[in-house]
Amino acid sequence: MLVLSRKVGEVIAIGDQISVTVVEVKGGTVRLGITAPQDMTIYRQEIYLKVQQENKQAADWNLDDLERIAALAGTGEKE
């Protein structure tokens, strides 16, 4: 992993289309400003991982589960 030291206001360029600016450093938190092409999706990694993990769990089900929830939803108890 490449490790660089930067001060507030300084920028890291990744290729010619992406730049990351250190906006603020305060109490152990670094605020970053990111400029990137529209077609790049930028997430905080933990959110991406959270959705990925939820997908894995959601994929683990069987037809009995479906029978039971369908029975409940059919009784008008749905939100």
Partner 1 sequence: MSLIKVPSTRFGEQEIEEEKVIRMPEGMLGFPDKRFVLLTPPKPGPFLWFQSAEDPNLAFVVVDAKECVPELTFPLTSDEFQKLELDPERPDLIFLLVVTMAPDPLDITVNLQGPIALNAEKLIAKQIVLDGVNYTTRHPFFAPAARQAAGRDTA
The mark string for 15-44 relative to partner 1 (x by CB under 8 A, - otherwise) is -----------------------xx-x-xx
CA 49 – CA 27 distance, rounded (Å): 25
To partner 1, the closest distance from the beta carbon of 21 in angstroms equals: 20
Q: CA separation (Å) from 60 to 1, 8, 55, 65?
A: 35, 46, 9, 10
Q: Does 57 bind partner 1 (CB under 8 A)?
A: yes
23, 42 Cβ separation under 8 angstroms = no
Binding site for partner 1 (CB under 8 A): 38-39, 41, 43-44, 47-48, 50-63, 65-66, 68-74, 77-79
